[in-house]
Amino acid sequence: MLRGLYRFYLYVVFIAMLFFAVSGVQRVLQILLAQTPLKSQYETAPSHSDVVQAVVYAAIAVFTAAIIGGIYAAMPVQGVAASAHSS
């Protein structure tokens, strides 16, 4: 029971980190596509600071998600290895 609840917790954290990383990439793509001819003729192009903010947010989001997701992905592997040695 407890192992299943822990696995559910890990999946929730992993999915939350995935959403966080996707939001950063989505923001960069939105800003970069606004600089192409695909934007509306009534929209103004994003400023340099908008691009920098989007890229920095995406980099931090992907880095944070990779670190936290990697830690949470390694935890079950260590738990399985530890339980195999104790048996």
Taking only the tens place, the pLDDT of each residue in 43-82 is 888 899 999 999 999 999 999 988 987 887 777 666 655 5
> Do the Cβ atoms of 23 and 61 come closer than 8 Å?
yes
Sign of CA dihedral 22, 24, 27, 31: negative
Domain count, the chain: 1
pTM: 0.73
Q: What is the span of the domain harbouring residue 80?
A: 2-86
Write out the two tokens for 16. Answer: 């939350």
- C-alpha neighbours within 13 Å on the C-beta side of residue 50: 13
Residue 86 has pLDDT above 70, yes or no: no
Half-sphere exposure (Cβ direction) of 59: Cα atoms closer than 13 Å: 6
CA 56 – CA 31 distance, rounded (Å) = 12
Residue 79 confidence (pLDDT): 60
Count CA atoms closer than 13 A to 15's CA, side-chain side.
Answer: 6
Give me the amino acid identity at 55.
V
